[in-house]
A = this chain, B = another copy of it.
Amino acid sequence: MNLGLLLFLPYRFMESAVMAELKTHGHDLPLSHARVFQRIGLDGSRMNDLAVAAQISKQTLTSIVDQLEAQGYVRRSPSPHDARVRLVTITDRGQELIALSQPVVTAIEATWTSHLGHAHAAQLRHLLTALVEITDPLAAG
A binding-site residues for B, Cβ under 8 Å? 1-16, 18, 38, 55, 105, 108-109, 111-112, 115-116, 120, 123-125, 127-132, 134-136
Contact = CB atoms under 8 A, between A and B. Distances in A.
A127 B135 contact: no
Nearest to A131: B10
Interface of A is mostly: helix
B132 A9 contact: yes
18 contacts: A2-B14, A2-B105, A4-B14, A4-B15, A6-B129, A6-B131, A6-B132, A7-B8, A7-B11, A8-B15, A9-B135, A10-B132, A12-B55, A13-B136, A116-B131, A120-B127, A123-B127, A127-B127
B129 A112 contact: no
Contact of A116 (B11, B13, B127): B127
A111 B120 CA distance: 22
